[in-house]
């Protein structure tokens, strides 16, 4: 059986009314283009997904969680610069 690549997921917890979340969105969109086919991106509205936000302990937004093989490897709980997120994704791919 061929070895499967580890699954890397970036979860972006946000709300439509959140100013910093709106500033985070274009950064996430740029990363999504750069990491196409390598990282799955999920945009999760906390107002519509309170149970999921609770499961991940999201108490402030934006919160960005990077998971590898279903385990949290990085977590950011505020507006985060592109280069910081890019570095975290690159490190998580190793």
Q: What is the CATH number of domain 8-93?
A: 3.40.30.10
Look up the pTM and report it.
0.91
Question: What pLDDT, in 10s, does the model give residues 15-74?
Answer: 999 999 999 999 999 999 999 999 999 999 999 999 999 999 999 999 999 999 999 999
Strand ranges for the chain from DSSP E? 8-14, 40-45, 63-68, 71-76
Domain-wise residue ranges, the chain: 8-93
Give phi and psi for 28, each to the nearest 5.
-65, -40
Active site residues: 18, 21
């Amino acid at each position: 059986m061929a070895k499967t690549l580890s699954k890397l997921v970036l979860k972006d917890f946000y709300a439509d009314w959140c100013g910093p979340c709106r500033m985070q969105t274009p950064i996430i969109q740029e990363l999504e283009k750069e990491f196409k086919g390598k990282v799955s991106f999920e945009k999760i509205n906390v107002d519509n997904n309170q149970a999921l936000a609770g499961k991940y302990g999201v108490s402030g937004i934006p919160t960005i969680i990077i998971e590898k093989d279903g385990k949290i490897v990085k977590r950011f709980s505020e507006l985060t610069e592109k280069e910081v997120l890019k570095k975290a994704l690159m490190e998580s791919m190793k």
